[in-house]
Structure 1
Amino acid sequence: MNVKHKSSDTHPLSDLAYDWITLMQNKAQALVAYDQYIKDAEAANSPECAAFFRKVHDADKAQLEEAKQHLVAVLQGKMGSSSK
C-alpha cells in the first residue's frame, strides 16, 4: 500500500501499520483454517497430521500475539517512523 497521494489528504495509516494489520488478518484467518485441518486429520484417524497442524497453529498464534504488540508500538509512534 502506498500512502502517498496527490492530494493533501493523507492516509490515516502508515505503510508499516497497514502491513502489521494485514499480517495479523492473514494469521487470524490461518488459525481458523488450521482448526479445520486439525478436525480433518482427526476424522482421517491421523494423529501425526493433527499434531503437526496443532504445532503450526500454535506457532502462528504466538506470532499473532507478538504482531499485536508491534502494531501497538507502531500506532503509538514507539516503533517506525511516522513521517511519509
Structure 2
Amino acid sequence: MKEKSSDPHPLSDLEYDWITLIQNKAQALMAYDQYIKDAEKADSAECAAFLRKVHDADKAHLAEAKRHLVAVLQGKMGATNTR
C-alpha cells in the first residue's frame, strides 16, 4: 500500500507484516504445544518428535522475526512509508 496523507494507519506495510508474522508464529507455538500433548496421549513418539522439531524451528523463526521487527522499527531496515 502506498503512503497516503489521509491514511490513519501509523504502521508501514513492512512493520505491519512483521507484527502479523510474529503474532501468527506465537499462535502456532501455542497450538503445537497442544498437538505435542495429543501425540503423546496417543502414544505416538514419532509424531511428538516431529511436532517438537516444527515447534523448535518456528520458535527460532520467531526470535529472528523479532530482531527484524526491532530493526525495522528503529529505521535500520526498510523504508518508513506508512500504511
The two structures have a TM-score, normalised by structure 2, of 0.90
Asked if structure 2 preserves the Cα contact closer than 8 Å seen for 1:38 and 1:53, the reply is: yes
Runs of 4+ off more than 6 Å: none
SS at match of 2:15: helix
Q: Specify which of 55, 58, 62 is matched with residue 60 of structure 1.
A: 58
Gap change, CA 1:6 and 1:73, over 3 Å in 2 = closer
Flag structure 2 segments of 5+ consecutive residues without an equivalent.
none
Gap change, CA 1:15 and 1:44, over 3 Å in 2 = same
**Counterpart of 1:18?**
16
Partner Cα separation in structure 1 for residue 55 and residue 2 of structure 2: 32
Flag structure 1 segments of 5+ consecutive residues without an equivalent.
none
Greater relative contact order (Cα 8 A, min sep 6): structure 1 or 2?
A: 2
Residue 12 of structure 1 deviates from its aligned partner by 1.2
Asked if structure 2 preserves the Cα contact closer than 8 Å seen for 1:3 and 1:11, the reply is: no
Q: Specify which of 30, 38, 46 is matched with residue 36 of structure 2.
A: 38
Cα-Cα RMSD:
1.6
The two structures have a TM-score, normalised by structure 1, of 0.89
Partner Cα separation in structure 2 for residue 72 and residue 6 of structure 1: 25
Residue 5 of structure 1 deviates from its aligned partner by 4.0
